A and B are shown apart, each in its own frame.
Chain A
Amino acid sequence: MHEETVYDALTAAHGDDARWAFGAGFDDPLAGVDTTVPDRVEPADLGAYCLMLGDDALVLSQRLIEWITRAPELEEEVAFANVALDLLGQARLLLARAGSVGVLGRSRERAGASIPDEDALAYFRDPDEFRCTALVVADGGDFARTLVRLLMASTWRLALFTQLQSSRDPVLAAIAGKGVAELSYHRSHAARWVLRLGDGTAESHRRAQAAVDFLWPLTADLFTPTEVEARLAPAGVAVDPGRLREEVHGVLTDVLTRATLTVPEWPASAPPTGRLGQHDPGRSEELTDLLAGLQGLARRHPGATW
Chain B
Amino acid sequence: MTDVTAEGGRNTPSSPPLAGSGRPPGRGRRDWPLYEVFVRGKRGLNHVHVGSLHAPDDEMAVHAARDLYTRRNEGVSIWVVRSTDITASSPDEKDALFAPSGDKVYRHPTFYEIPEDVPHI
Contacts and interface: CB of A to CB of B under 8 A. Distances in A.
| Touching chains A and B, CB distance < 8 Å | yes
A192 B71 contact: no
A181 B74 contact: yes
B55 to A, nearest CB: 8
Say which size band chain B's interface belongs to: 10 to 19
Given A13-B3, A192-B59, A192-B60, A82 B29 contact: no
A117 B78 CA distance: 39
A75 B68 contact: yes
B63 A82 contact: no
Contacts of B64: 75, 78-79
B44 to A, nearest CB: 18
Interface in B53-101: 53, 55-56, 59-60, 63-64, 67-68, 71-74
Given A13-B3, A75-B53, A75-B64, A22 B59 contact: no
Contacts of A73: 29
B72 A185 contact: yes
Contacts of B68: 75, 78
A281 interface: no
Contacts of A231: none
A75 B74 CA distance: 18
Interface string A267-288: 0000000000000000000000
Sort A-B residue pairs by CB-CB distance and give the 10 closest, nearest first: A23-B71, A75-B64, A78-B67, A79-B67, A78-B68, A82-B67, A22-B71, A82-B72, A185-B72, A192-B59
Interface of B: 2-3, 6, 29, 53, 55-56, 59-60, 63-64, 67-68, 71-74
10 contacts: A23-B2, A23-B71, A23-B73, A73-B29, A75-B64, A75-B67, A78-B67, A79-B64, A185-B72, A196-B56
